[in-house]
């Protein structure tokens, strides 16, 4: 035993719980626990990585100019200097919190919000504050009711993980307009591509409406690059300058930078992924509800059927695991009677739905 102790708020921080893997399973495994793209990455992203393989002895471009330009072009953003990249969008969440919220400050989000906001607030000594949702959906007025003089950042994933629900853009604007100027509105669009291109443009325009709004995005979901750890953000100029001050040098590697630039330019691959997801998301909602597992409509790439009790949800989770299917338990998000199922490839979706029909027929 040593007498070395971390800062007291670090001692209180619990680590993020990831979707996990099915260790020790034999045969084919169906992984639907982490909202990954069942098609993998765009073939163009893989080609781009091959192109940089022989250059790994040199550091990446410290400014990630090509990647940022590709993001700005794909998203119709004029000022590339306000597009910044990170090692996963988790890093943006952490750096924002590091820069703006510490002991004595509050970080605001809703009751079933993405758990990294809580981890990050605690990890920086700030106080997480949550407000209730209505029908699993964040509401602008509920969030405004949670704002105090000490609130520094309001995190809102839209669509949210794990609920899959979203706040309408008009309400987002109302929230943005009503926030006091000392609060940063960080809108996390990890699943924005699954809503559609016009919504992506609306999020971009939201950042341009006010100097208090940041858009956080990821390459881990529709772009199929979760293992490369790439996130990006669109910032107001002042916040971009702050972010640049604390961004670790070379925070993403050359493979990630090359793959990300190719992936975001491959609009065909993105549209194909979005259309597949929209089709299967609707099928899941319809068939799960028909099985007696109430499932709200989702705007993302996952659904959350309700098994009625925590025990039954656990039993379904174990049953699926015993058949080599991994989905996500979301008791840690305050939703213990539900499971989160990522929309997968057609055959895997059919398998999961057939297994759940078998489960509900007997239990």
Ligand X SMILES: Cc1ncc(COP(=O)(O)O)c(C=O)c1O
Ramachandran sector of residue 6 (left: φ over 0; alpha: ψ -120 to 50; beta: rest): beta
User: Which among 183, 104, 86, 197 is positioned nearest to 140, based on CA atoms?
Assistant: 183
SS3 content of the chain, % helix, strand, coil (to 5): 45, 15, 40
Q: Residue 76: helix, strand or coil by DSSP? A: coil
The reply on whether position 291 binds ligand X by CB under 6 A is: no
What are the Cα distances from residue 13, in Å, to 120, 126, 347, 355?
A: 9, 11, 40, 37
* Count of chain residues binding ligand X (CB under 6 A): 13
Per CB under 6 A, the segment of 39-47, 164-172, 179-187, 218-226 that binds ligand X is: 218-226
Which residue sits closest to ligand X, CB atoms considered? 88
State the minimum distance, in angstroms, from the CB of residue 152 to ligand X. 19
CB-count burial class (<10 Å; 0-12, 13-18, 19+) for 310: middle
Locate the DSSP E strands across the chain.
30-31, 83-86, 106-110, 127-131, 151-157, 184-188, 213-218, 231-234, 302-303, 325-326, 328-329, 339-342
Shortest CB 86 distance to ligand X, Å: 8
Q: What are phi and psi of 188, to 5 degrees?
A: -95, 110
Q: Does 218 bind ligand X (CB under 6 A)?
A: yes
- What kind and span of H or E run contains 214? strand 213-218
DSSP 82-129: GEEEESSHHHHHHHHHHHH--TT-EEEEETT--THHHHHHHHTTPEEE
Among 33, 35, 36, 167, binds ligand X (CB under 6 A): 35
Which of the ranges 86-94, 128-136, 246-254, 278-286 carries the binding residues for ligand X, by CB under 6 A?
Answer: 86-94
Residue 308: CB minimum distance to ligand X, A = 25
Give the per-residue contact string, 114-153, with ligand X (x = CB under 6 A; - = no). x---------------------------------------
Are the CB atoms for 325 and 349 separated by under 8 Å?
no
The least distance separating ligand X from the CB of residue 224, rounded to whole angstroms, comes to: 12
Q: Which stretch binds ligand X (CB under 6 A): 20-28, 53-61, 84-92, 248-256?
A: 84-92
**One symbol per residue from 187 to 216: x for binding ligand X (CB under 6 A), - otherwise; what is it?**
-x-x--------------------------
Lay out the sheet containing 339-342: strands in order across.
302-303, 339-342, 328-329
> What's the closest the beta carbon of residue 114 comes to ligand X, in angstroms?
4
**Which residue number, 161 or 351, has a Cβ lying nearer to ligand X?**
161
Distance CA 226, CA 41 (A): 9
- CB of residue 160 to ligand X, shortest distance in Å: 7
List the x/- string, 219-258, binding to ligand X by CB under 6 A.
-x-----x----x---------------------------
Q: Give the x-and-dash track for 150-189 against ligand X (CB under 6 A).
A: -------x---x--------------------------x-
88 is a contact residue toward ligand X (CB under 6 A): yes
CB of 88 to ligand X, least distance (A): 3
Q: Which stretch binds ligand X (CB under 6 A): 41-49, 83-91, 169-177, 331-339?
A: 83-91
3-class secondary-structure state, position 182: coil
Residues binding ligand X (CB under 6 A): 35, 88-90, 114, 157, 161, 188, 190, 218, 220, 226, 231
């Amino acid at each position: 035993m040593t007498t070395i102790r971390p800062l007291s708020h670090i001692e209180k921080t619990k680590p993020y719980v990831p979707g996990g893997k099915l260790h020790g399973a034999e045969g084919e495994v169906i992984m639907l626990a982490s909202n990954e793209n069942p098609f993998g990455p765009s073939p163009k992203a893989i080609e781009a990585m091959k192109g940089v393989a022989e250059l790994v002895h040199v550091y990446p471009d410290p400014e990630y100019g090509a990647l940022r330009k590709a993001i700005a072009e794909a998203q119709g953003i004029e000022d590339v200097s306000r597009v910044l990249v990170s090692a996963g969008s988790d890093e943006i969440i952490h750096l924002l919190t590091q820069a703006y919220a510490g002991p004595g400050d509050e970080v605001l989000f809703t009751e079933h919000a993405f758990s990294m906001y809580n981890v990050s607030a605690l990890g920086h000594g700030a106080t997480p504050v949550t407000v209730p949702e209505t029908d699993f959906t964040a509401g602008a007025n509920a969030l405004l009711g949670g704002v105090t003089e000490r609130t520094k950042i309001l995190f809102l994933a839209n669509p949210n993980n794990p609920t899959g629900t979203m706040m309408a853009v008009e309400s987002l604007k109302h929230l943005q307009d009503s926030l006091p100027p000392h609060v940063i509105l960080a809108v996390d669009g990890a699943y924005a591509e699954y809503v559609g291109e016009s919504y992506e443009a609306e999020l971009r325009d939201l950042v341009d409406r006010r100097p208090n709004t940041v858009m956080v995005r990821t390459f881990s979901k529709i772009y199929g690059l979760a293992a490369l750890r790439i996130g990006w953000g669109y910032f107001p100029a002042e916040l971009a300058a702050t972010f640049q001050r604390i961004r670790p040098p070379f925070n993403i590697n050359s493979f990630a930078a090359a793959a990300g630039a190719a992936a975001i330019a491959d609009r065909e691959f993105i549209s194909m992924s979005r259309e597949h997801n929209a089709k299967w998301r609707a099928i899941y909602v319809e068939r799960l509800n028909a099985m007696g597992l109430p499932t709200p409509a989702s705007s993302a790439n996952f659904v959350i059927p309700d098994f009625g009790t925590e025990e039954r949800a656990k039993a379904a989770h174990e049953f699926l695991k015993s058949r080599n299917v991994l989905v996500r338990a979301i008791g840690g998000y305050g939703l213990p009677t539900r499971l989160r199922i990522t929309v997968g490839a057609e055959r895997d979706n059919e398998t999961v739905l057939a297994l759940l029909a078998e489960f509900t027929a007997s239990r």
